[in-house]
Structure 1
């Protein structure tokens, strides 16, 4: 094994151990911080210098995208007017592994004067930062991954991991859902996938192939051929409720086995209790059902409608693929 590979593996091992070592710190202090963030009526102000500042920026973005408004405040700029971003209901989270940041001095005084809560994420439990805070998360690591033991590596990784742990715990406490997440991420493929509903891509109206129980099979064939969504027809009873479905597979089997395949009625050919999907369900869920049961289409119902079993649309797997649901 080359020295280059050895060095790469050592870095990963040291940083992995740094994160695993945090497990024993997930206790009363962690719970206190999560409750403070969850109860915050304003926004989170995350601050830090250098590498800690870069992590603070990332964490502010993570909190904001998971239901907790947050901004990054540069401690060096804070004493030049940027402290104006801090409001009375805000909570400040300061990141510094060493806990001795000269630029925090003015910020400490401002926070104390306004009586705002301060959370410290630091590797030094006896530092000025830790002593100034109402709650402390200790991210001390036994060693850095840097060969010289100088560059923040394992310590910055541990700080990021602890911040992520807080953000995810707060997210769970608030009951933040995948739908909420999608609303905050409408521009990405993930957001589009989580925002697209069945009703957004289904076929409706004249494109919906339905027949009655007593519809002659010859007419069923014609409807299945000329509708926009070919290869299937829903069978409805006298009330208009969906009671069965006919697919092109059933037709092929009838043509192969029957001496007179065009005689009879829809009720003689249909499959009862067809699988369906609700119009307000995520399109991704519909695709999952199709894949699980190896079917190409689903009739769509509206469970909130007065007539909950009446088909309101039909969805084909190609519609979902065109919509880039997967």
Structure 2
């Protein structure tokens, strides 16, 4: 494994594990998996030198953190555990909406610490910006939690430029989490340059385009009838074929290197800068091991030029989210 340093001197494995697909249902979770295989996958990741594990209160909700917490018992040393706050729930576990009020941040933090079975959260993200609570107030609470030893580093997920600047003025932000991949390059417009300016790390989620960039999905009928991706704008009937052109380029370069398409997509991301640490999601050891091998794939200038041409900024057909989800980004 190789390692990288994000903002605020936070050292992590160059590739982390996005735990969202592991345990529990909810929007954005796809593919079959078992608890035993998921736990074995987490243990295998640690054996491979992965230190960076990403979860959130809202995943499940709650059960994802519990699963990760159970899996790292006796293995906590050296791990960087990231989780997120920012939602409130009804009595049945349904998501009510955004809530980054001080009292809800503290409630979420205490719950996450208990479920994860740890004394300190290494990286605590605001999951989505709450337009009703000034970011300075949010960061103020996080500063208090850091002083109390309950968190070590602070992050924001899908925040906009102005919010990031204001947050960083209160306390150094260690990482910005956002979607970033060959088929979603919008962060290159302003978020990535800002991260470089302020020395903030970037943690890309969905680095494989929700599986599309692996090349294993060649037609919509490859997906199960209840797969949420059938409703993803980029997987739609009108956009699917156009987006396969990106996959064709990935496959060609994968064949040249004798590796998988997923490894090429991850190697491209790693080549975008040392302050970038993607978090692909897994449920199975085979998928984990394939993705982690991307660490040893080096793309040459011709490879990068070919991929840039096939997948230019703004060149993917369709928006990355529907209207409801897009409305919660870049605030």
- Indicate the TM-score class for this superposition, using the shorter chain for normalisation: under 0.3
Which structure shows the bigger proportion of residues in helix conformation? 1
Larger Rg: 1
**Highest RCO, 1 vs 2 (Cα 8 Å, sep ≥ 6):** 2
Give the TM-score taking structure 2 as reference length.
0.28
